[in-house]
Amino acid sequence: MKKNRSKATNSVRIIGGKWRGRKIGVCKETSVRPTPDRVKETLFNWLTALLPGASCLDLFAGTGALGFESLSRGAKKAWFIENDPTLYRALEKQKISFNANARLIKADALKVISEVTCRPFDIIFLDPPYEMDLSAVLLQLQFWLRDSSLIYVERNAMPDKCPITSLAEVNPSMSIWKKGAAGQVVFGLFKFKE
């Protein structure tokens, strides 16, 4: 959840669950771009039945809005990986404020997923800077998934092609489970094919 957002906000809100209405601060000193509420609402409607008891990974966490939203809606645990020191400190404060079952990792996300061995996650939120090539990330993520895992991807809308459809075309091991668009954002849930 990052970069290149022209409209600055001071906070985003949790839109459902036990922390509904609570705010998450958005660090002005960074170029983080939180997922819009309209997109979050659609995404979490898709995930409603899957969240209770789920383990989630918020890769490139930024504000942590997606990970905290999932914890608010019944996920059992969430890991947040963020390399930016300012954003990481904000995540620490948010974790304490919510008394959340969250593990925070201050490190480069690609390095973590290529070097750390862990139990697979049910849901992975993949919302890096829009300009980032996702090929290496998706290759490494396969080791962090179980058969039923879902990967959420958010990208900037493009006039000549849909980045979500293109991602599935260049990654034959992935299939689109659901996809949507809102304003300048396109997003989708993927599964790796067995």
For residue 150, give the nearest of 182, 193, 105 by alpha carbon: 193
The tokens describing 25, both together, are 């601060």
Instruction: Over range 87-95, report the average pLDDT.
Output: 95
Q: Which residues contact 89 (CB under 8 A, 6 or more apart)?
A: none
Task: Tell me which of 130 and 155 has the higher pLDDT.
Answer: 155
Asked if residue 187 has pLDDT above 70, the reply is: yes
Q: Are 162 and 19 in contact, with CB atoms under 8 Å apart?
A: no
pLDDT in tens, 1-15: 444 443 445 889 999
Residues for the chain: how many in total? 194
pLDDT in tens, 74-86: 999 999 999 999 9
Asked if residue 149 has pLDDT above 60, the reply is: yes
Pick from 64-73, 114-123, 150-159, 178-187: least confident: 114-123
Task: Tell me which of 116 and 49 has the higher pLDDT.
Answer: 49
At residue 132 the predicted structure's pLDDT band, cuts being 50, 70 and 90, is confident
Task: Tell me which of 88 and 168 has the higher pLDDT.
Answer: 88
Q: What is the pLDDT of residue 27?
A: 77
CA distances to 64, 87, 180 from 159, in Å: 29, 31, 15
Instruction: Over range 47-75, report the average pLDDT.
Output: 96
Pick from 25-29, 102-106, 167-171: least confident: 25-29
Instruction: Over range 62-73, report the average pLDDT.
Output: 96
Query: Could you tell me the domains of the chain?
Result: 11-192 (3.40.50.150)
N-terminal to C-terminal alpha carbon distance within the chain: 28
Q: What is the pLDDT of residue 7?
A: 41
